């Protein structure tokens, strides 16, 4: 199995698997997001996770450039897009947290839209992993 096959299957399963939890346990999920994951003061773990994410993006680009896997650029670009969220958490934390609060508490339709898009992305990643790579 190739890196792209394994990675897209894992990312697809994780991406899809987390979505129902947000709706099955909304209060617990909100508490986790707002009081544990994204506290008022940016937690120190953010820098470590950002470094891991950047490493994964760099390694994925390395594999993209050094292997001949058809359509691997699709996964590479999707993984690269995660840097948008990472940069917001690192460099625009207060506004990011306000957005999370708005999506979780004030207007859950935002969360539903994000979850629909993310589930479709997860299904696409699973399709890539199972049938393409």
pLDDT tens, residue by residue, 49-78: 999 999 999 999 999 999 999 999 999 999
In the structure encoding, which two tokens stand for residue 10, read together? Answer: 């894992």
Confidence of residue 79 (pLDDT cuts 50, 70, 90): very high
Task: Convert the pLDDT of each residue in 82-94 to its tens digit.
Answer: 999 999 999 999 9
Per-residue burial over 17-54, b = 16 or more CB atoms within 10 Å of its CB, e = otherwise:
eebeebeeeeeebbeebbeeebeeeeeeeeeeebeebe
Residue 1 pLDDT level (bands cut at 50, 70, 90)? confident
pLDDT over 80 at 42, yes or no: yes
Q: Which residue has the higher pLDDT, 23 or 65?
A: 65
Cβ atoms 128, 74 nearer than 8 A: yes
Q: Please return the burial class of 1, using the count of CB atoms within 10 Å of its CB with bins 0-12, 13-18 and 19+.
A: exposed
pTM of the model: 0.89
Q: Tokens 């896997």 — which residue?
A: 69
């Amino acid at each position: 199995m190739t890196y792209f096959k394994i990675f897209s299957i894992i990312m697809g399963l994780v991406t899809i698997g987390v979505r129902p939890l947000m709706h099955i346990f909304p209060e617990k999920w909100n508490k986790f997001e707002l009081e544990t994951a994204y506290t008022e003061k940016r937690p120190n773990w953010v820098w470590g996770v950002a470094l891991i994410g950047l490493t994964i993006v760099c390694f994925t680009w390395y594999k993209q450039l050094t292997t001949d896997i058809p359509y691997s650029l699709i996964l590479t670009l999707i993984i690269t897009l995660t840097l948008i969220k990472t940069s917001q958490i690192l460099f625009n934390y207060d506004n990011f947290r306000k957005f999370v609060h708005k999506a979780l508490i004030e207007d859950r339709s935002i969360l539903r839209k994000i979850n629909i898009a993310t589930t479709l992305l997860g299904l696409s990643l699973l399709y890539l992993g199972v049938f393409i790579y």
